[in-house]
Structure 1
């Protein structure tokens, strides 16, 4: 891939998604921006060798996850005041950050980024069964925040209306006659 031509376009497309992932991993916009900047710098250095946008995206995600899982990585959810998340989103972020870092990363990668268990396991350095178990743990923790499932609406029965009498109903040969 051509570094001069393709990388700015890659950043324009990938940066918003990477920022969302990093924000969910860190809980802070400032920390998320720092992680994304570092990840994009690493991708830029390897841009020609990566060979595809998909490989570049995977490399950036790998960098985000590795940085978020490092000991001492920021684990603080930003305060609900200011331009940050709404109070409802803040509750979700707090619940997400009560999870162990790897469990949180598994949930973010599978639920937010839409990765399957195999791709998640590859990024986390574990087997797919562990990635699935981490997601189940995360869902168990996050479940109380889900809105209660509403029962499906019950349709009112159709009113019983007799169809108007059709004189052709009494004549078995009516279908063979020409209309008048």
Structure 2
């Protein structure tokens, strides 16, 4: 199906809802956005509900790289175990909270079947299993930033050149089914509500 602007679009393959309601309960940014695939793995999938950064001038949108901590890490840790499936890259600024520490990833080891190991040159402090981490747009001791995150992905999308995506700017989303932290919720428009319902 055509998604406008000369891009192609496919709807998601997951049957599990992440947004509550339908129709007028959910508001999308008018018009489609081209998926910015810079740094993404072609052929991989980005799930609906992923935090996105869209630019109405360029009509491009890109996902915020997010992950969850696999197991507790000490206050002096420089290697963190994260759950599989993240889009963090070597060189990404690894952070856990906006305004907190954010330092470049120097290595990512993916050889373990259960988790990936992310190494940073400087610790970002103690973290607990299931904590939210992300790729910050800035680096430094107090520089963690979501880099202008401003919406959520409406449908699952396969990473390919020429894909179009729709971005949610108003609606209620199940927090337990998508990447979530209190800091992320605060950074997004207040028209996006995270429900703790299961």
Larger radius of gyration: 1
Q: TM-score when scaled to structure 2?
A: 0.27
More strand by share: 2
